[in-house]
Amino acid sequence: MIIYDLNCDAGHHFEGWFGRPADYVEQKRKGILSCPICSSTNVKKIPTASHVKTQLTVSASEDEATKPSGQQVVSTHAMQALHRYIDKHFADVGAQFPEEARKIHYGEAEERNICGVASNEEAKELHEEGIEVHRLPPKPVEKEKLN
């Protein structure tokens, strides 16, 4: 497989992929080699072509590629902020979480924000009882606490 940089008479620059150099000649002779942009069959190989792929890689994935790639960093910061918020505003009831959540839900305990530990099973049961449970991602390790 060889790649030629090609130009049509309208100045469009594109790549032609050929199994072997003779294919280019043959396709051009038969007039089946045409510009993908304007369909002109007046196509020339650019003599100084490098095979560095710079053009005609536009595809659906380009949008993806231009999205910010710092998502992981952002989410770490967001997680730290979230956990700080929870530390401050939520009472940590640990393994009592399912029980406490039920008490609050059924009005047997003071209504407050709690956090704690629940198994998948327990979280599912709470959810089925109409109790709002949010799973927290693991707490990120803060750099200053590393030693």
User: Taking CB under 5 A as the rule, does residue 141 contact Zn ion?
Assistant: no
Pick between residue 35 and residue 123 the one whose CB is nearest to Zn ion: 35
User: Taking CB under 5 A as the rule, does residue 6 contact Zn ion?
Assistant: no
* Contacting Zn ion within 24-83 (CB under 5 A): 35, 37-38, 40
- Please choose, out of 7-15, 26-34, 79-87, 101-109, the segment that lies near Zn ion by the rule CB under 5 A: 7-15
To the nearest whole angstrom, how small is the minimum distance from the Cβ of residue 49 to Zn ion? 16
To the nearest whole angstrom, how small is the minimum distance from the Cβ of residue 11 to Zn ion? 7
Q: Is the dihedral of CA 124, 126, 129, 130 positive or negative?
A: negative
To the nearest whole angstrom, how small is the minimum distance from the Cβ of residue 133 to Zn ion? 59
Pick between residue 8 and residue 126 the one whose CB is nearest to Zn ion: 8
To the nearest whole angstrom, how small is the minimum distance from the Cβ of residue 31 to Zn ion? 14
User: Taking CB under 5 A as the rule, does residue 10 contact Zn ion?
Assistant: yes
The single residue among 3, 7, 12, 131 that binds Zn ion, judged by CB under 5 A, is: 12
Buried b vs exposed e over 30-62: b needs ≥16 C-beta within 10 Å?
eeebbbeeeeeeebeeeeeeeeeeeebeeeeee
Distance CA 57, CA 15 (A): 10
Q: What is the 3-state secondary structure (H, E, C) of 52-63?
A: CCCCCCCCCHHH
Chain-centre distance of CA 129, in angstroms? 34
Given a contact cutoff of 8 angstroms between Cβ atoms, the answer to whether 7 and 40 are in contact is no
Residues 6+ apart with CB under 8 A from 45: 4, 5, 6, 7, 16, 24
Interface residues toward Zn ion, by CB under 5 A: 8, 10, 12, 35, 37-38, 40
